Amino acid sequence: MIDLKIIHWDEMPSEKVKTLWHPYIISGAVNLIQGDSSTGKSYLSQAIITALTTGQALPNAEPMPPCYVVIQNGENSLKGVVKPRLVELGADFKYIKSIDDSDNPLSLLSPDIEKMISQYKAKLFVADPIQAFANIYNQQLMRKILMHLRGVGERHDCAILLVGHLRKSRTQSQYRGFGSQDIYNAIPSVMNLGRVNDDVRVMVHSKSNFFEVGTPMSFSLKGGFQWLGEYDITLDELLANPASSNRERQRDKAKAFLTELLADGEVDSNEVLTLAKEAGIAEKTLRRAKIDLGVASVQLADKWVWSLE
């Protein structure tokens, strides 16, 4: 008789899905950040690591106690690139660990990953980029890797974060990271990165199996990493040429409006919003232009004013 391992559903407890950064990064599951070259994928993952190791709050989230993370980087020098960036961001290095794979390239199927996560009770494991650790075009292998990593994450309440490059392709934007739509569909949470202009990069949460997708979040690398806040843009607009989109033209209109309105000094924020509405400028577009121009919000007595710094 074959010795079967049986799951008895009447004895199995129910568990709620938890998040490490709601709703973007799901605990106990595989998550993906993908984008074209030089869009800031690694910087973003390192900003997340910094927040987790220092107890800082990520955008639209509550702070949590510092936790351990395990990071494997197969593209950049840990000493020459990754650590200096984390120093700049202010990470707490006692909470950051890596497996030494200098002698033998690390496989994402390696039991060492689970041993490391278990030993430190790590809440995040990062593989950056996924292309350095697996042949993404081998569908059978990728399925095996994703199932294995999901099991590791579930057993240790650890979020698995893969960072991946997008391919130059005419396929739909969300499928450009992997060689198969099937593999994309197997990942519960996917975030896409793109560059809006030289100063602004945006993360669009394009897929979530468990929650409504999160609001697009923007950041800047000018003068160091800085969160800029929510951003109004779709995935297709982000990955297309923004200069050709109607939304970009509307943003230019909003920037010209703010530049003229604030040229002579500060203006009550309620008045700004009213005048913008009369000019046919949506509030989200106005606030996006506000970020681009570096307009400051300052509280004076019982009111808020906007001013050009």
pLDDT digits (tens, 9 = 90+) for 70-107: 999 988 889 999 999 999 999 999 999 999 998 888 99
pLDDT in tens, 17-36: 999 999 999 999 999 999 88
Cα–Cα distance measured from residue 216 to residue 88, given in angstroms and rounded to the nearest whole number: 24
Is the pLDDT at 161 greater than 50? The verdict is yes
Cα–Cα distance measured from residue 288 to residue 282, given in angstroms and rounded to the nearest whole number: 10
Is the pLDDT at 280 greater than 50? The verdict is yes
> Residue 242 to residues 165, 216, 249, 250: CA-CA distances in angstroms?
20, 16, 9, 11
Low-confidence winner among 46-60, 86-100, 264-278 (lowest mean pLDDT) = 264-278
The class of domain 245-308 in CATH terms is: mainly alpha
Helix (H, G, I), strand (E, B) or coil at 165: strand
- 19-238: which CATH number, 3.40.50.1220, 3.20.20.70, 3.40.50.300, 3.90.660.10? 3.40.50.300
Q: Measure the CA dihedral 41/47/49/55, to 10°.
A: -160
> Residue 119 to residues 93, 102, 128, 212: CA-CA distances in angstroms?
17, 21, 21, 33
Question: Is the N-terminal amide bond of 63 cis, ω within 30° of 0?
Answer: no
Mean pLDDT taken over the chain: 88
Residue linked to tokens 């009111």: 303
pLDDT in tens, 163-176: 998 766 544 555 55
Cα–Cα distance measured from residue 305 to residue 87, given in angstroms and rounded to the nearest whole number: 35
Is the pLDDT at 251 greater than 90? The verdict is no
Range list of β-strands (E), 239-278: 267-268
Is the pLDDT at 242 greater than 60? The verdict is no
Q: What is the pLDDT of residue 170?
A: 46
Residue linked to tokens 């004076």: 300
Q: Please state the pTM of the whole predicted model.
A: 0.76
Residue 275 and residue 260 in contact, taking contact as beta carbons nearer than 8 Å: no
pLDDT, average across residues 257-272: 86
Cα–Cα distance measured from residue 191 to residue 5, given in angstroms and rounded to the nearest whole number: 36
Write out the residue limits of the CATH 1.10.10 domain(s) in the chain: 245-308
Cα–Cα distance measured from residue 96 to residue 236, given in angstroms and rounded to the nearest whole number: 35
In DSSP terms, 220 is beta-bridged to: 226
> Residue 173 to residues 121, 136, 178, 227, 234: CA-CA distances in angstroms?
35, 17, 11, 24, 11
- When pLDDT is cut at 50, 70 and 90, the band that residue 293 belongs to is confident
Is the pLDDT at 245 greater than 70? The verdict is no
Is the pLDDT at 241 greater than 60? The verdict is no
Cα–Cα distance measured from residue 150 to residue 280, given in angstroms and rounded to the nearest whole number: 47
Sign of the four-CA dihedral 263, 269, 271, 272: positive
- When pLDDT is cut at 50, 70 and 90, the band that residue 244 belongs to is very low
- When pLDDT is cut at 50, 70 and 90, the band that residue 178 belongs to is low
pLDDT, average across residues 53-57: 97
By CB atoms closer than 10 A (0-12, 13-18, 19+), residue 104 is exposed
In the chain, DSSP finds a helix count (H) and a strand count (E) of 9, 14
Within a 10 A sphere around the Cβ of 192, how many other Cβ atoms? 26
| Percent of the chain residues past pLDDT 90, beyond the cut | 50
Q: What is the pLDDT of residue 37?
A: 82
Residue from 179, 196, 189, 117 nearest 153 by CA: 117
pLDDT in tens, 121-149: 999 999 999 988 988 878 889 999 999 99
Write out the residue limits of the CATH 3.40.50.300 domain(s) in the chain: 19-238
Residue from 222, 217, 218, 216 nearest 198 by CA: 222
Is the pLDDT at 235 greater than 90? The verdict is no
Q: What is the pLDDT of residue 243?
A: 44
Cα–Cα distance measured from residue 233 to residue 251, given in angstroms and rounded to the nearest whole number: 11
